[in-house]
Amino acid sequence: MKSLAAALLVCGMLAFQLAGAASKAKAGDERRAAAQVAGKGDPVAGRIKSETERCQECHGVDGNGNGSEGKFAKLAGQYPEYIVKQIRNFRNGERKHDFMSMMAKSVDDADIADIAAYFASQPVMRGDGGDHGDGVVGKKLFIEGDASRNIAACAGCHGAQGKGGVAEKIVYPVIGGQEARYLERQLLDWKSGERKNSAGGVMNSMAKSLTDAEIQALVHYLSGL
């Protein structure tokens, strides 16, 4: 019986490892595809297409959003690969949003690349410089994280000012200067599992360890950068 149990444990671990490897391979393929599409974008054409495809109605002419209580993300200066990936995820159902899913399915890859290139070409989003709340707690979480709870510093991936970066072919989006209520909604969705399209599920792991009050402090700090 002990040998049978050991064999089953080994099989289970192997299946888990294979599933993880397959997930990573799929994520890698998706990132490469997004980068390939994004690299071909024409920002001049994208300005026109972002208007005709009604992107500007929600995300603003300059990509800085049109308010409405955090419903619309700022896209100004966002990495084009990240924008392309999100649209693809809305299209294939990996990210849920009724309206964006419909819009994503109505735009072809060439248009997506141009639209992403246009928003990426705009001056990067910036906040108003205010803390909007408990800046000490938010800043500490962003810069240092909390090792006692395995919460990594946000700045480790998203940069010292939250302006994103690229490491090992993973694109970390701009979050500094993003609209606070939009950031809050995303973190709460990561926490609940409603959203789960980050590489390796890292954002779900990080968000689950944060209290709602910490999320509030963090997004208020980020929105001021």
Tell me how long the chain is: 225
| DSSP secondary structure code for residue 213 in this structure | H
Q: Burial code of 181-200, b = ≥16 C-beta within 10 A, e = fewer?
A: ebbbbbbbbbbeeebebbbe
Q: Which domains does the chain have, with CATH numbers?
A: 23-120 (1.10.760.10), 135-223 (1.10.760.10)
Whether pTM > 0.85 for this model: the answer is: no
Across the chain, what does the average pLDDT equal?
85
Residues 6+ apart with CB under 8 A from 125: 63, 64, 74, 75, 76, 77, 78, 174, 176, 177, 178
The label of the residue with tokens 């792991």 reads: 205
- Tens digits of residue pLDDT in 47-94: 999 999 999 999 999 999 987 677 899 999 999 999 999 999 999 999
CA distances to 50, 157, 188 from 79, in Å: 16, 14, 23
In the chain, the N- to C-terminal Cα span, in Å, equals: 60
How confident is the model over 179-208, as a mean pLDDT? Answer: 96
